[in-house]
Amino acid sequence: MADPFLTVTHLTRRFDVSKPWLNRVLEREERQFLTATADVSFAINKGETFALVGESGSGKSTIAKMIVGLLAPTEGQIAIDGQKLDPKDPVSMRALRRRMQMIFQDPFASLNPRWRVGDIIAEPIHTLGLMPRAEITVEVARLLDLVGLSKADAGKFPHEFSGGQRQRIAIARALASRPDFIVCDEPTSALDVSVQAQILNLMRDLQDEFKLTYLLISHDLSVVRHMSNRIGVLYLGRLVEVADAKRLFHEPQHPYTRMLLDSVPDLALSGRRRKPVSGEIPNPISPPAGCAFHPRCPVAQDQCQIAVPALRPTPTGEAACLLAGVAPPTDA
Amino acid sequence: MQDTKPRGRLFRIWDSDVAASFRRSPVAIVSGLVALVIVLAAVFAPWIAPTNPYDPSSLNLMDGFTPPMQPNAFTGNSYLMGTDNQGRDVFSTILYGARISLFVGVSAVLLAMVLGISAGLVAGYRGGWVDAVLMRVADVQLSFPSILIALLIFGVARGIIPPTQREAMAIWVLIVAIGLSDWVQFARVVRGATMVEKGKEYVQAARVIGVTPLRILIRHILPNVMGPVLVIATISVALAIIAEATLSFLGVGVPPTQPSLGTLIRIGQQFLFSGEWWILLFPAVTLLALALSVNLLGDWLRDALNPRLR
Amino acid sequence: MTKPLLSVRDLVVEFPTRRGTLRALDGVSFDIAPGEVLGMVGESGAGKSITGAAIIGLIEPPGRIASGEVWLGDTRIDQLSPEAMRRVRGRRIGMVFQDPLTSLNPLYTIARQLTETIRTHMDASEGEARARAIALLDRVGIPAAARRIDDYPHHFSGGMRQRVVIALALAAEPELVIADEPTTALDVSVQAQIIDVLKEICAERGASVMLITHDMGVIAETADRVAVLYAGRMAEIGPVRDVILQPRHPYTAGLMGSIPTLEHAADRLVQIPGAMPRLDAIPAGCAFNPRCTQVMDRCLRDRPALRPVAPHHASACWLVDDKGAHHG
């Protein structure tokens, strides 16, 4: 942990979801804010895969967008290799952009349908001015080969490819600037399982070959388990648990993590006993006071309704629960 | 993996769904042919037309009011569509007139497209107050009939341009007047499409790379919003030709020395009740055929590009 | 075996396009016994949703059933008039779709939609229908059902809406419920609840379920038997346990290996090379032959029929010989 590659500190993002001014005046309503991400801090080490898991409204995609500069944080900081991300400083942003790329969820939307594949892959090289024009064709061929496509594919359009092949093209584009960090936002959730396996294996191979650091955003616990070294669990915009991947699944510390694990279908037919899951995710515009999970929590106590618990150390990492790190509650 | 080699551009166009839909639609084929014939005839008018109606030396007043396909009582000359009051061959004036009508119509739409697309892209991508201002201007303009706006612009231009230049500038004034009255619909459609496209992941991918907003608009978003723009442009050409004809008919368009179809109709209607019907009828039918065929093409294009109607 | 409730025989569904006719479903046969839950899995484009649509007569034109038969009990339903088919849907077959909003009319209250369905198909007074509707909502787990019944669909969260849709599908006490990706749009923690509700309430009422999903995990937890579709053909069908633990078709085996699980972390996932062929490029012989690791000459020439490999378990693969033994 001596040398974190990416550090995120007290990251918060609020969205103004108020009605237009005139409606607010007429209907006497207050401005409304949605806190998509609240006070999130974590660090990613060089060469590891850090995963953020959560259900809808957990703010995982918002965090991804802030890290790659698509959204500005309301509060908090992001630093890469100790260098602060500052959208107002184009020179440093340019240097950071080369090092940091993103793979998107929907390979049908993430490639411009009017562009040839070769141009799509070459765009980062052009934009960042990494290479003389004459060498780009060769580089594109190399990238296509790297992701398991052929040189001739550069002349085709995205609609000529299947979903899995498109995601390969998107990965080739992400690799074009030779980054050392890639944010993968639900990279396989739009793909069929047999294709998902191909893409996950490819991502692993590329990580080994280029010493890549991944931030993996996913709602799928099995994918996360398969891919990551450490995992952060989000609930309603807050980090509720960070733990070593292997241990998280055996020793979940936060009751929400436990519930999430219980809700994963038992594919191996192991007869794993599941507790019935209760309740639904509250509206993120008006989250419950205190610990946002307390209305669904089987071990909630009175204090849980008052203050938001801070992350505290546990045997496996950190968890934001009053009971974390304490012996599991007994019935007595 | 599919092993289709990238084939030629022409083949791709021929093989596309739009081309297939064209081949299946008799209306599209017929109106396409009609429009093509008129456009070609207009473009090549100097080589097709039997006489040059703009050349005063070739005119013979004795030839005036010759009915179609009948020898003139004095000169014995016979004309396909007869002659007008000044002895100009109606067929030739129609060819030259369609040339001007088409030039004005297409130029005006190009101007409207450039203005409307730029405004729409910026408003849709930027949002906020830029969007609010541009769209309120558009709303205000939409609440007036576009012909009134064209008349207003025409009037203002008349005030600015010195009288000696007026005749030479007339066509350009007309183009600006029609173009400025027509940009709003392009702006609205492009704005809506831009707002959809900018949320798509390929635009986000470009932003992550650090592509400048201008380049994102032109290279990424523009090609993806051109479908509906083409549809409106086609229909707008028909409307602009009619607008030009209307203005010329009202006498504020192109001067009679360089008659457009509208000017010809204005001239022709003076003689309708004295029996010289051909002077009105042929230009009017040409205008109708041109506007209708272009309009039908536009309708077909809209259906062909709309996947939900396929 | 008891007489099946639903019997699908050699179903072929075709979509004419300008580049030729596409076979979205090519000779699919299966039965569903009364009270049984049959899972139907496959990747997108494999034909699982089309199978469901064909059974309830809702294939979008120009698609059509080109041949084959669908029997519901003693009635052949693939040739019914649209009017007769409408009566079968709702009364004898209930439906649950992926997006609950497509099944609920946003302009009517839940009460109106439920009582209307109940009164259309069953003999009940307004008051009885309402009482029954409230009981149903209560059963699918809507809290304070008596009060919430007068709400509109948009007042409910996604998970609650899907519960309402399940209530609606079961309102007329159908013999068969077809659920097409009922949990795909929902969060994992809600998904488990919905699956439980669907499973319990159908079991309670003795309704059979055809559960269409791409999620093997959901099938594993819910279904009695599972049918695996590939490129519009049935690759394998059998009891869930057998198919998952001892798949007899190379495609099923690959599919199971490619799913990451919580239980054992493999370093690399088994991957099936390539992708499912498009419907206009299905290879001769076995449709899976370009991706199969155990492909033989025969697979390139002849299409394998579905043949028994074990009791109630059949696979369409040449590796299975006529006696049902497995080579390779």
Q: Which H, E and C letters describe C199-243, residue by residue?
A: HHHHHHHCCEEEEECCCHHHHHHHCCEEEEEECCEEEEEEEHHHH
Instruction: Find the mean pLDDT for residues C196-209.
Output: 90
Residues from chain A contacting residue B206 (CB–CB below 8 Å): 112, 123
pLDDT at C38 over 80: yes
Q: What pLDDT shows up at residue B309? A: 46
Residues from chain B contacting residue C278 (CB–CB below 8 Å): 2
Amino acid in the structure at residue B121 = L
Nearest to C220 among A197, A201, A269 (CB): A269
pLDDT at B7 over 50: yes
Q: Distance between CA atoms of B47 and B35, rounded to whole angstroms? A: 19
Q: What pLDDT shows up at residue A104? A: 94
Q: Give partners of A (≥3 CB pairs < 8 A).
A: B, C
C interface residues, B as partner, C-beta within 8 Å = 18, 274, 278, 281
Residues from chain B contacting residue C273 (CB–CB below 8 Å): none
Cβ of C270 within 8 Å of Cβ of A197? The answer is: yes
CA dihedral (A279, A283, A289, A293) in degrees, to 10, reads 30
Q: Distance between CA atoms of B82 and B63, rounded to whole angstroms? A: 9
Burial class (CB in 10 A: 0-12, 13-18, 19+), B242: buried
Here the tokens at position B266 are 């204005």
Q: What pLDDT shows up at residue B213? A: 92
Q: What pLDDT shows up at residue C1? A: 54
Q: What phi and psi values does residue A105 have, to the nearest 5 degrees?
A: -70, -50
Q: In chain B, where do the E strands start and end? A: none
For chain A, the straight-line distance linking the first and the last C-alpha, in angstroms and rounded, comes to 39
Query: Is C101 within 8 Å of C153 (Cβ atoms)?
Result: yes
B interface residues, C as partner, C-beta within 8 Å = 1-2, 20
Instruction: Tell me how close the Cα of C287 comes to any Cα of chain B, in angstroms.
Output: 14
pLDDT at C28 over 70: yes
Cβ of C262 within 8 Å of Cβ of A261? The answer is: yes
Instruction: Find the mean pLDDT for residues C271-283.
Output: 88
Query: What percentage of chain A carries pLDDT values higher than 70?
Result: 95
Rg of chain C's alpha carbons, rounded to an integer?
21
Here the tokens at position B21 are 């839909």
Instruction: Residue count of chain A, please give it.
Output: 332
Instruction: Find the mean pLDDT for residues A84-88.
Output: 80
Helix axes B163-180, B146-160, angle to 10 degrees: 150
Nearest to B202 among A112, A124, A156 (CB): A112
Q: Mapping DSSP to helix (H, G, I), strand (E, B) and coil, where does residue A92 land?
A: helix
Q: Distance between CA atoms of C326 and C328, rounded to whole angstroms? A: 7
Q: Distance between CA atoms of B245 and A309, rounded to whole angstroms? A: 75
Q: What pLDDT shows up at residue A326? A: 61
pLDDT at A149 over 60: yes
Instruction: Tell me how close the Cα of B202 comes to any Cα of chain A, in angstroms.
Output: 4
Q: Tell me the average pLDDT of chain B.
A: 85
Q: Distance between CA atoms of A155 and A317, rounded to whole angstroms? A: 48
Rg of chain B's alpha carbons, rounded to an integer?
23
- The string of DSSP letters for A38-62 reads EEEEEEEETT-EEEEE--TTS-HHH
pLDDT at B1 over 50: no
Query: In this structure, is the dihedral angle defined by the CA atoms of residues C212, C215, C221 and C226, taken in order, positive or negative?
Result: positive
Among the listed residues C257, C211, C77, the one whose alpha carbon sits nearest the alpha carbon of residue A193: C257
Query: What percentage of chain A carries pLDDT values higher than 90?
Result: 55
Cβ contacts below 8 Å, chain B against chain C, sum to 4
Residue B25 to residues A130, B32, B301, Cα–Cα distance (Å): 50, 10, 11
Cβ of A222 within 8 Å of Cβ of C262? The answer is: yes
Q: Tell me the average pLDDT of chain A.
A: 88
Other beta carbons within 10 angstroms of residue C91's beta carbon come to 17
Q: Tell me the average pLDDT of chain C.
A: 89
Q: Distance between CA atoms of B158 and B169, rounded to whole angstroms? A: 10
The alpha-helical segments, DSSP class H, found in A147-274 are 163-175, 193-210, 221-227, 245-250, 255-262
Residues from chain B contacting residue A97 (CB–CB below 8 Å): 208-210
Q: Distance between CA atoms of B189 and B133, rounded to whole angstroms? A: 16
Residues from chain B contacting residue C274 (CB–CB below 8 Å): 1
According to the 3-state scheme, what is the secondary structure of C240-300? Answer: HHHHHHCCCCHHHHHHHHHCCCCCCCCCCCCCCCCCCCCHHHCCCCCCCHHHCCCCCHHHH
Cβ of A110 within 8 Å of Cβ of B5? The answer is: no
Q: Which of residues 190-209 of B touch A (CB under 8 A)?
A: 200-202, 204-209
Q: What phi and psi values does residue C22 have, to the nearest 5 degrees?
A: -100, 135
pLDDT at A332 over 50: no
How far does Cα C15 stand from its chain's mean position? 20
Here the tokens at position B151 are 């008349």
Cβ of B20 within 8 Å of Cβ of C274? The answer is: no
Q: Mapping DSSP to helix (H, G, I), strand (E, B) and coil, where does residue A121 land?
A: helix
pLDDT in tens, A180-223: 999 999 999 889 888 999 999 999 999 999 999 999 999 988 89
Cβ contacts below 8 Å, chain A against chain B, sum to 62
Instruction: Tell me how close the Cα of A267 comes to any Cα of chain B, in angstroms.
Output: 30
For chain C, the straight-line distance linking the first and the last C-alpha, in angstroms and rounded, comes to 32
Among the listed residues B274, B273, B245, the one whose alpha carbon sits nearest the alpha carbon of residue B259: B245
Longest Cα separation, chain B: 80
Instruction: Tell me how close the Cα of B204 comes to any Cα of chain A, in angstroms.
Output: 7
pLDDT at A246 over 90: no
Residues from chain C contacting residue A226 (CB–CB below 8 Å): 260, 265-266, 269
Query: What percentage of chain B carries pLDDT values higher than 90?
Result: 33
Q: What pLDDT shows up at residue B89? A: 85
ipTM entry: 0.86
Q: What pLDDT shows up at residue B115? A: 95
Q: Distance between CA atoms of C19 and C279, rounded to whole angstroms? A: 11
Q: Mapping DSSP to helix (H, G, I), strand (E, B) and coil, where does residue B19 land?
A: helix
Residues from chain A contacting residue C216 (CB–CB below 8 Å): 193, 267
Task: Produce one character per residue of A260-290: b if its CB has 16 or more CB atoms within 10 Å, e if not.
Answer: bbbbbbbbbeeeeeeeebeebbbebeebeeb
- pLDDT band at residue C322 using 50, 70 and 90 as cut-offs: low
Here the tokens at position C88 are 């079968």
Q: What pLDDT shows up at residue A193? A: 87
Instruction: Residue count of chain C, please give it.
Output: 328
Before C62, cis peptide (omega within 30)? yes
pLDDT at C326 over 70: no
Q: What pLDDT shows up at residue A325? A: 67
Query: Of B269-283, C48-62, C147-161, where does mean pLDDT reach its minimum?
Result: B269-283
Cβ of B2 within 8 Å of Cβ of A160? The answer is: yes
pLDDT at B4 over 50: no
Other beta carbons within 10 angstroms of residue B59's beta carbon come to 18
pTM: 0.87
Q: Distance between CA atoms of B134 and B123, rounded to whole angstroms? A: 7
